[in-house]
């Protein structure tokens, strides 16, 4: 699916936690959603097809999604951690709930730790 080699199931798991991050502060911000949509587009998903894919990711059990992410290779995990960090800052508001969720996902899924700045830089490479 990409140079990172995400399977369809892995992509759904990434979408599941990404959409949860977008919703974490209690509002859907277009800038945060754009990060997720751009993530999909970078893997060749047409921009108009994002809604059903996010819905499919939402249907995945959170524990199952985190298990899939925990079993990813280091580069895939780095991408997931970077994506979540980029979502946090997309609306220019670093929300405590989002940061706590990012730390929790990082711990549970054994993602590499990084700052938000590093996360954004990783995605822009």
Residue spans of the domains in the chain: they are 8-123
pLDDT digits (tens, 9 = 90+) for 15-34: 999 999 999 988 888 899 88
- Give the fold, CATH level 3, of 8-123: TerB-like (1.10.3680)
pLDDT digits (tens, 9 = 90+) for 27-59: 888 899 888 888 878 877 777 777 888 888 888
Q: What secondary structure letter does DSSP report for 7?
A: -
Instruction: State how far the Cα of 96 lies from the Cα of 41, in Å rounded to an integer.
Output: 28
pTM: 0.90
Give the Cβ contact number of residue 122 at 10 Å: 17
């Amino acid at each position: 699916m990409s140079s990172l080699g995400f399977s369809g199931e892995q992509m759904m798991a990434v979408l599941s936690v990404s959409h949860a991050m977008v919703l974490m502060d209690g509002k859907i911000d277009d800038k945060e959603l754009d990060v997720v949509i751009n993530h999909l587009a970078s893997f060749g998903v047409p921009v108009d097809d994002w809604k059903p894919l996010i819905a499919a990711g939402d249907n995945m059990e959170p524990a199952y999604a985190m298990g899939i992410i925990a079993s990813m290779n280091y580069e895939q995990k780095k991408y997931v951690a970077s994506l979540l960090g980029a979502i946090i800052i997309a609306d220019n508001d670093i929300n405590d709930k989002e940061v706590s969720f990012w730390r929790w996902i990082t711990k549970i899924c054994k993602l590499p730790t990084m700052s938000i700045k590093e996360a954004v830089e990783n995605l822009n490479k």
